[in-house]
Amino acid sequence: MSDQDHSPPGFASAVCYRDPAAALKWLEGAFGFEPFMVITTPNGQLAHSEMRYRTGRVMVGSEWSDDHKSPASIGGKNTQTVHTQLDEDLDAHCERARAAGAEILAEPEDQFYGDRTYRARDPEGHIWTFSRTVKVMTREEWDAAGGFITKDRL
């Protein structure tokens, strides 16, 4: 195993699917995530996988315990969503996801903090948010635009 087979320091999300093999293909086609590692059992079942987008990564696996379920198995509920910061055309990304069957929950829209975002639900119910910075703003500028106060700590 080479050093490139190991994940860099940091953290990644892990999402569970009823059909993780189908999810891997769908996430690649719809969102442009790149497969990085797929580990299978001797009988061909997916044991672990990892996908990447630039420096971000997400692990895709099966429902492997009562506490690790796809939203499709728990009434569509999500306990987390995954956010991806893009460096490509956000509107074109949204259209590619829509064409692949994503349910677009929030159409692309400019946000007060300078990003353009959209939100989508994948075929098993995971919610994904995609953003692209379209206007670089200071904290003071986005606070004034949104009516918030941004700090480093509470």
User: What is 11-61+80-145's CATH number?
Assistant: 3.10.180.10
The count of C-alpha atoms lying within 13 angstroms of the C-alpha of 2, restricted to the half-sphere facing its C-beta, is 2
- 28 burial type by CB count under 10 A (0-12 exposed, 13-18 middle, 19+ buried): middle
Q: Which of these, 68, 38, 60, lies nearest to 123 by C-alpha position?
A: 60
Task: Compute the chain's Rg from CA coordinates.
Answer: 17
The pTM of this model reads 0.89
Q: Which two tokens stand for residue 77?
A: 């509920």
In this structure, the chain runs to a length of 154
Q: What is the CB neighbour count within 10 angstroms for residue 152?
A: 5
The bridge status of strand 82-85 relative to strand 127-133 is parallel
pLDDT given for residue 6 in this prediction = 67
The pLDDT, as a whole number, for residue 48 is 86
User: Strand runs (DSSP E) across 54-126, as ranges?
Assistant: 56-62, 82-85, 103-110, 115-121
pLDDT tens digits in sequence order for the chain, 154 residues long: 455 666 677 888 999 999 999 999 999 999 999 999 999 889 988 888 999 999 899 999 998 889 899 999 999 998 889 999 999 999 999 999 999 999 999 999 999 999 999 999 999 999 999 999 999 999 999 999 999 999 999 9
80-114 burial, b if ≥16 CB within 10 A, otherwise e?
A: eebebebeeebeebbebbeebebeeeeebeeeebb
pLDDT, residue 10, reads: 80
Indicate the domain borders of the chain. Answer: 11-61+80-145
Tokens read off for 93:
């990304």
